[in-house]
A and B are shown apart, each in its own frame.
Chain A
Amino acid sequence: MQQSIPESLKISPFMAAFVVVSMQIGIGVLGFQRIISKDAGYDAWMSVIGAGLAVHIIVWMMYKICEGVDGDVMAANIFVFGKTIGNSINTLFIIYFTMTCLTLLSGLIEVIRTWMFLSMHPIFFASVYLLLGIYIVNGGFRTVVGISLFGIVVPAYLLFSFLAPIRYGDFTNLLPIFDHTPVQMLKGAYNMTLTYLGYGVLLFIYPFIKKPKESKKWVHIGLTATMIFYTLLAVITFAYFPISLLQKSIWATLEMWKIVKLPFIERFEYLGLANWALIILPNVAISLWVASRVAKRVYHISQRKAVLFIAAVVLICVLMLDSRERINIFHDLQAKAGFILAFIYTPFLYILLLIKKKVNAK
Chain B
Amino acid sequence: MKVTRILLTLLMCCLLLVGCNPRYERKVIDDINIATGMGIDKSGDQLKGSIMIPVFKADKSMENFLFTAKGTIMRDVAAQMQQKASQPIFSGSMDVALFEEVVAREGIVQVLDVFLRDPSVGARVHLAVVDGKAQEIFEGNYGDRGNAQYLKDLIEHNMEGGNLPLTNLHSFLFNFYQQGKDPYLPYLKQESPELVNITGIAIFKDEKVIDILHENKMFYFKLLVDKFSMGQVKVKEEHGEATVKSITSDTNMKLTKRKPYEITVQIKLKGLLTEHEGTRLEKNEVKDIEKELEKQINKTCLKLLEDFQKQKVDPIGVGHFVKTKTRNFNFEKWQTDYQDVTFKVSTNVRILEVGVVE
Contacts and interface: CB of A to CB of B under 8 A. Distances in A.
Interface of A: 114-115, 117-120, 124, 127-128, 131, 168, 170, 172-173, 175-176, 178-179, 240-245, 248, 254-255, 258-259, 261, 266-267, 269
A124 B15 contact: yes
B321 interface: yes
Contacts of A245: 173-174, 177
Contact of A244 (B12, B177, B324): B177
Contacts of A242: 174, 177-179, 181
A258 B123 contact: yes
Interface string B79-99: 000000000000011000000
17 contacts: A119-B25, A128-B15, A128-B16, A131-B11, A131-B12, A168-B171, A175-B323, A175-B324, A176-B323, A176-B326, A178-B327, A245-B173, A245-B177, A255-B123, A259-B123, A267-B92, A267-B120
B119 A269 contact: yes
A140 B173 CA distance: 50
Given A245-B173, A245-B177, A248-B116, A176 B324 contact: yes
B295 interface: no
Contacts of B320: 172
A269 B181 CA distance: 29
Nearest to A246: B177
B119 A114 contact: yes
Contact of B25 (A117, A131, A240, A254): A117
A168 B174 contact: yes
Interface string B164-189: 00000011011001110100000000
A84 to B, nearest CB: 38
Contacts of B93: 266
B179 A244 contact: yes
B236 interface: no
B18 interface: yes
Most chain B C-beta atoms within 10 Å of own C-beta, residue among A114, A244, A258: A258
B124 A118 contact: no
Most chain B C-beta atoms within 10 Å of own C-beta, residue among A118, A119, A172: A172
Contacts of A173: 178, 324
B258 interface: no
A269 B174 CA distance: 20
Contacts of A176: 323-327
A117 B122 contact: no
Interface in B316-342: 320-321, 323-328
Contacts, number: 73
B23 interface: yes
B170 A258 contact: yes
A179 B124 contact: no
A69 to B, nearest CB: 39
Given A176-B325, A258-B170, A261-B124, 11 more contacts: A128-B15, A170-B174, A172-B320, A176-B323, A176-B327, A178-B327, A179-B327, A241-B174, A241-B177, A243-B177, A266-B92
Contacts of A258: 122-124, 170
Nearest to A169: B174
A286 B173 CA distance: 40
Contacts of A120: 24
Interface in B139-177: 170-171, 173-174, 177
B177 A118 contact: no
A243 B23 CA distance: 39
Given A128-B16, A258-B122, A258-B170, A118 B25 contact: yes
Interface in B7-37: 11-12, 15-16, 18, 23-25
Nearest to B119: A115
Contacts of B116: 248
A66 B326 CA distance: 49
Contacts of A254: 119
A259 B124 contact: yes
Most chain A C-beta atoms within 10 Å of own C-beta, residue among B16, B25, B174, B325: B174
A175 B328 contact: no
Nearest to B169: A258
B126 to A, nearest CB: 13
A267 B92 CA distance: 8
Contacts of A128: 12, 15-16
B239 to A, nearest CB: 40
Nearest to A120: B24
Contact of B325 (A117, A175, A240, A248): A175
Given A168-B170, A168-B171, A124 B179 contact: no
B178 A266 contact: no
Nearest to B175: A242
Contacts of A131: 11-12, 15
B24 A119 contact: yes
Nearest to A176: B327
Nearest to A127: B15
Contacts of A124: 15, 18
